[in-house]
């Protein structure tokens, strides 16, 4: 289950009051990109928008790294939005490998192992893949994926090569589904198009 668009906007607006920051603008951008790509691929664009909007909702509880995954999953589960909870977990793991998390593991070993097990049992669907892709296309603006990954590398000191490859494969996957260039679908910025 996932909330309606208006309920999702209400949730993120409330969350912004608890922890204002660029993550809110990023979340709206991810939602808009997910909606556009979903629309081009005959997926449910309302669902894509809502999942994109709430993928980082764990950030309402404060600044954290791995913790935002656990907090988001549990918060969405408490509201019975299981499809969003799943995205709170899967959006950071295009390689499905929890050990490749970029950032601090600021949760207990018990929580880490619980979420490792959860992640391993999920078979990624198009919505998991879509939000992984859009998270990699958006900072607080739409970016070239390679620039975004380089930026993450600069900030955190590393970016696993297989994660980079997996993210670029996601782009190819949705370009095959939509038969369009992803940057053309999501942005008017012709510099990004590379055509």
Q: Which residues of the shown chain bind Fe ion in the complex (CB under 5 A)?
A: 56, 135
SS3 sequence, 118-152? HHHHCCCCHHHHHHHHHHHHECCCECCHHHHHHHH
Please state the closest distance from residue 195 (CB atom) to Fe ion, in A: 27
3-state secondary structure of 96: coil
| Nearest to Fe ion of 139, 180 (CB atom) | 139
- Whole-angstrom Cα distance, residue 66 to residue 28? 21
| Nearest to Fe ion of 135, 175 (CB atom) | 135
Please state the closest distance from residue 8 (CB atom) to Fe ion, in A: 15
Please state the closest distance from residue 44 (CB atom) to Fe ion, in A: 20
CA contacts within 13 A on the Cβ side of 8: 25
| Nearest to Fe ion of 111, 135 (CB atom) | 135
| Nearest to Fe ion of 32, 56 (CB atom) | 56
């Amino acid at each position: 289950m996932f909330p309606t668009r208006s309920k999702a906007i209400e949730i993120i607006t409330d969350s912004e009051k608890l922890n204002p920051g660029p993550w809110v603008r990023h979340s709206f951008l991810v939602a808009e990109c997910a909606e556009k790509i979903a629309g081009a691929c005959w997926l449910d664009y309302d669902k894509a928008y809502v999942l994109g909007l709430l993928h980082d909702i764990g950030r309402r509880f404060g600044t954290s790294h791995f913790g935002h995954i656990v907090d988001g999953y549990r918060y969405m589960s408490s509201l019975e939005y299981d499809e969003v909870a799943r995205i709170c977990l899967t959006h950071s793991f295009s390689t499905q490998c929890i050990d490749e998390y970029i950032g601090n593991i600021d949760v207990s070993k018990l929580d880490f192992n619980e979420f490792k097990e959860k992640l391993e049992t999920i078979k990624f669907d198009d919505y998991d893949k879509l939000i992984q892709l859009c998270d990699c296309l958006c900072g607080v603006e739409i970016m070239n994926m390679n620039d975004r990954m380089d930026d993450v590398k600069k900030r955190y000191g590393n970016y696993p090569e297989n994660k980079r490859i997996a993210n670029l494969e996601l782009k190819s996957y949705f370009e095959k589904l939509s038969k369009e260039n992803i940057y053309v679908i999501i942005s008017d910025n012709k510099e990004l198009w590379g055509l």
